[in-house]
Amino acid sequence: MKIKIILANVAAMAFAAAGLWFTAGSQAVAHHAFSAEFDPNRPVLLRGPIVRVEWVNPHTWIHLEVTNDDGSTTVWMVEGGTPNTLLRRGLSRDTILPGTYIVVDGYQSKDRSARANGRDITFEDGRKFFMGSSGTGAPYDNDASRN
Amino acid sequence: MKNSFKTLCIGVLAFAGLVLAPLTLAQSGEIPRTRDGKPDFSGTYDVSTLTPFQRPSEFGNRLILTNDEAFAIANADAERKETNQQGSDPNRSAPPQGGDGSTGAAGNVGGYNTFWIDNGTDVVRIDGEFRSSIITDPLNGRLPPVTDEVRNAARVALGAGEAPRREGGANDGTAYWLDAGLDAPGPYDNPENRPFAERCILSFGSTAGPPMLPALYNNHKRIVQTEDTVLINVEMVHEARIVRMNAEHDPAPIKKWLGDSIGWWEGDTLVVETTNFRDTPAFSRGSENMKVTEYFRYENPDKIIYSFTVEDPTVWEAPFSGEYSWPRTDNKVFEYACHEANYALEGILKGARVMEMEYRGEDPGGVPNPTR
């Protein structure tokens, strides 16, 4: 997900360079900067069955059980987006069945707990975990009513 | 029996009237009105749009897009989303060591899949014309320059290496702020250092504003209107803006997170004026001196046109104005109990402590990374 930041002027660029949050772009922004939470030096690739889903705001957390090299298991929790978006498309917590095997790539949290961002969550065969868009996916599918 | 039948008939007719009246209104193009004849904006609106707040430079001073340009933008967005929905390599490896180079809020670690996003499918269209930006004034559709004072303050803060208020972090996985000394203040020292959104206090970006702007998701607003009060319920992040009609502003020392909003009617337009902001309003870099005037009018029974003007001479060299459409929706505003599971804030602060330990050569421990 790229957040587009359009800068207004040189001063604004100075602010942006300093990391001062600047709501100047198009539709911004997430609840928090993932950069603040996850460690770029600790990439992870997690595989395993879902054991729990926290269908909560501001972010959904999907828990999966990962088998370690020594045969022990660790339950990792993976951060996704707001459940409200999926709820509007008819998906609920119950859509996500425990036991479903998923593959997740992301980065481990900076606090070194068993947490990661769900940079890409897919089924075992690579299909995206959820499909669909806010409409049918066709441009201007809401043209008559929305415009 | 006769009376019962008569009552039933009246009941059925009354019910049919209740159900059909709005349909008839909509079909005839008449806007809904309250008993006292004012436009009735009560209802729910989905304000998501592909039109950016500030105009992309390629359009220069041109506010109006051609139909072809508007369709091209919508098509490109639809194609991008479609591409993002394609499957991934099931045998993929972990993302790159050192970060994936992503920018913005996803800084160097990526965000999450597109299916979590709901930023609309359409370009803003007002009175039949497609728009290239929400900002309409200045002519270039961009925020006016900030004042010398703001510019200089930014330079001074930069020069002093000060931790910026809304810093997302130079995400290199180290406690870089300790480069200035082991006791140097950092952007993660306490919750008050963190942005309002991260703390679930105030709208993300400027969803509640004012001015109220679209975001990447949860773009629903609900208006409840009475003669003396207009309430605007903002899904993200659970704000209820309360506009007192035909009232005076609170005394200046009373500051509010969303400012103090009063409203009045100018013909069929609802005007809302907001002052009395705290020193850090939700919108951009506005200050406590900001004044926002908003205008709500119907273009047709299914669409509000929302306009605003922002004045803050201590921040921007000139006022600026914007405008976009709020289409009515059958959808609902959902609960957004942001505090409910705000694990991120805890993780961010705890993560900073772990990195500080590492900076000092201590072993922070933690869960082994199965990929390393």
Higher-confidence residue of A1 and B281: namely B281
Q: From CA A30, how far away is CA B110, in angstroms rounded?
A: 12
What average pLDDT does the segment A75-103 reach? 89
Tens digits of residue pLDDT in B248-263: 999 999 999 999 999 9
Contact B52, B59 (CB under 8 A): no
Strand order in the sheet with B125-126: B64-65, B129-131, B125-126
Complete DSSP assignment for B101-127: ---GGGTTT----GGG----S---EET
| Residue B350: partners with Cβ closer than 8 Å, 6 or more residues away | A110, A111, A113
Q: How far apart are CA A76 and CA A46, in angstroms?
A: 8
CB atoms within 10 A of CB B195: 21
Each residue of B99-155: pLDDT tens digit?
888 877 778 888 888 888 889 999 999 999 999 999 999 999 999 999 999 888 877
What local confidence, expressed as pLDDT, does residue B159 receive? Answer: 61
Cβ-contact B306, B241 below 8 angstroms: no
Whole-angstrom distance, CA of residue B73 vs CA of residue B324: 17
Would you call A66 an interface residue with chain B, using a CB distance cutoff of 8 Å? yes
* pLDDT at site A92: 82
Q: Is B103–A114 a contact, with Cβ atoms under 8 angstroms apart?
A: no
Distances (CA, A) of A116 to A63, A87, A119: 10, 23, 9
Taking contacts as CB-CB distances below 8 angstroms, the residues of chain B near A147 are 122, 125, 303, 325, 327
**Mean confidence (pLDDT) of chain B:** 87
Complex ipTM:
0.83
Answer for the pair B64, B131: CB distance below 8 angstroms, yes or no.
yes
Instruction: Determine if the peptide bond prior to B211 is cis (ω within 30°).
Output: yes
From chain A, pick out residues whose CB is under 8 angstroms from the CB of B106. Answer: 1-3, 30, 34-35
pTM: predicted TM-score of the whole model, two decimal places = 0.83
What residues of B are in contact with residue A47 (Cβ under 8 Å)?
none
Q: How far out from the chain centre does Cα B254 lie?
A: 24
Mean pLDDT of A3-10: 27
Which of A60-64, A135-139, B109-113 is predicted with the least confidence, judged by mean pLDDT? A135-139
Which positions ≥6 away from B9 have C-beta within 8 Å?
none
- Alpha-carbon gap, residue B94 to B75, rounded angstroms: 32
Nearest-by-Cβ selection for B115 from A4, A130, A141: A130
